[in-house]
Amino acid sequence: MTLPPFTKHYEIPERAAAAVRHYWWINEHAKPLRQPALKVIGPASLTFERVEGRSARSQDLRRLAELLGHAHGAAWRSDLQAASLNTPHRFQDGTTFDDYLGPREIALRRRHEQGYLPNKVSLHAMLGLLEETAQGPCAFYKDSNPRNFIITAAGDIVTVDTDDLSLAPMGYDLAKLVATLVLTYGPFASEAIDDACNTYSQAVRQHAPQLDPIDRERLDDCLALHAVLTAPYIGRNGYCHSWPAHVRLRLQGAS
């Protein structure tokens, strides 16, 4: 039985065009990520192959960490060796996707205005942490939350919703995956996070043996940033769990 295709609509044609560029960039430079086939490109819509399956779960963390490591290692080797985390990345047609620092600095300042960072001391602590994480080789960020991976009945992993890409340090998108799995399903053992971190780094090094992608301390730095950046969404979009106590204590220590 052939499944009907899935059509995604965009508010303006420019958003659809950007999504197409990001889709093809991943196909060219991050080949380990499998995406649904793109069937039709409309003025403000894209039609994809429909993929049946479930969203990612906590028990998928190791496999997904390995997949992200391979994708980030391949992208660094193919296109991101000369990229800078504070400069937007330029496509061959002259368009760009966002840098790492600028948009997140804006987002952290907005979280302060919204009350998720209680004072300027905590804001400056988070801005300092952002600067600290802006080191090392470049990867890309695609918002790796559980809903953006489909696990098929055969066990294949299909990546969806790659509309928005930005530069990010190695491990930042892995931290987003860990963060959103915790918010969706609840906390899991620290050893599982250690294992994901090591698995990710080993996968990156298969593409670029000279790289030192990430350690647990840096992953925790990225998790702290995601705790602030995802704060408005807790209680929405399936994020029904709170941050573990050690993350809350760290954020309180910054305030």
Instruction: Quick: pLDDT tens for 51-60.
Output: 999 999 999 9
pLDDT band, residue 236 (cuts 50/70/90): confident
What DSSP line would sit under 166-215, residue for residue?
A: EEEETTHHHHHHHHHHHHHH----HHHHHHHHHHHHHHHHHH-TT-----
Could you read off the pLDDT of 85-137 as tens digits, one per residue?
A: 999 988 776 778 899 999 999 999 999 999 999 899 999 999 999 999 999 89
What is the structure's pLDDT at 159? 97
Task: Tell me if 177 sits within 8 A of 68, measured CB to CB.
Answer: yes
Give tens-digit pLDDT for 2-24.
Answer: 789 999 999 999 999 999 999 99
Cα 125 from chain centroid (whole Å): 22
In a domain, 42, yes or no: no
Helix (H, G, I), strand (E, B) or coil at 149: strand
22: nearest Cα among 167, 125, 126, 147: 167
Question: How many domains in the chain?
Answer: 1
Inside any domain, residue 132: yes
Does residue 142 sit within a domain? Answer: yes
Contact 21, 91 (CB under 8 A): yes
- The mean per-residue pLDDT over the stretch 214-220 comes to 93
- Provide the pLDDT for residue 35: 97
pTM of the model: 0.93
Q: Other CB atoms closer than 10 Å to residue 75's CB: what's the count?
A: 25
**12 within domain boundaries:** no
Query: Is residue 217 included in any domain, yes or no?
Result: yes
The CATH code of the domain that includes 110 is 3.90.1200.10
**In a domain? residue 11:** no
Tally of CB atoms within 10 A around 8: 15
Residue with tokens 């918010």: 183
Q: 61 is in which domain, residue-wise? A: 53-253
Helix axes 13-29, 61-75, angle to 10 degrees: 90
- How many angstroms separate the CA atoms of 169 and 32, rounded? 18
Tokens in use for 47?
């039609």
In a domain, 29, yes or no: no
**Looking at the domain assignment, is residue 94 inside a domain?**
yes
pLDDT at residue 200, as a whole number: 97
Chain mean pLDDT for the chain: 92
Indicate if the pLDDT at residue 252 is higher than 70.
Answer: no
